[in-house]
Amino acid sequence: MRDLRLAGAIEHDIDYLGVDVVDKLLDYSRSTYPQFRFITVSDFAVPEADNWADLICAFSLFTHLLHEQTFLYIKDSYRAQKPGGKLVLSFLEYTNAGHRQLFLSAVGSAKTDRALIVFNDRDSLNFFGRECGYSNVEFFDGTASLADFGSGKTLPNGEVLTGLKALGQSLCVMTK
């Protein structure tokens, strides 16, 4: 659940807005984290005013969108961010061995009705970011241990994460 994963990791009093296209996921997120806002979206835009966000996260979003749709989200994220704000997005890339395995597995189901799985590359994301106005675009490999859970963070399913963990998908950080 895209919104629930991020909302569950937040331990600060912030103005958090989670968005998704799946009402059932948002209903669960609302009931689990009533201190945050969750809304349904149907287009490729951030439903907030200009210069609103310090940070926009798009985890496991662009792996399910066409490149043109990804570009529209990146462009609108720029509009919605404050100067100096950051867009953090996860993506699948062919240069990651684990991601290549996912691609090869998906080849076998290409003729079936399944969720769209899209791979991006650093050159394309760098182009998208620069074209949309971002001044800095950085990348982090999906195998790098970037998330620090310290002495422990309990997930809603009861699993406890400790220490540094890799996120799995590669990350791109764009700065306005």
Q: Tell me the two tokens of residue 97.
A: 């061995």
What the chain holds in terms of domains, given with CATH numbers, is 43-175 (3.40.50.150)
DSSP three-state, residue 172: strand
Contact status, residue 79 vs residue 109, Cβ threshold 8 Å: no
How do residues 119-168 score in pLDDT, each as one tens digit?
Answer: 999 999 999 999 999 999 999 998 777 777 788 877 778 888 888 877 78
Q: Look-up: residue for tokens 């220490």?
A: 163
pLDDT, residue 3, reads: 42
For 34-90, how does the pLDDT look when each residue is reduced to its tens digit (9 = 90+)?
888 899 998 999 999 999 999 999 988 999 999 999 999 999 999 999 999 999 999
Q: Please state the φ and ψ torsions of residue 99, each to the nearest 5 degrees.
A: -70, -35
pLDDT band per the 50, 70, 90 thresholds, residue 29: confident
- Measured distance CA(147)–CA(152) in Å, rounded: 12
Question: What's the rounded Cα separation, in Å, for the pair 81 and 131?
Answer: 16
Which bin fits 121, alpha (ψ -120 to 50), beta or left (φ > 0)? beta
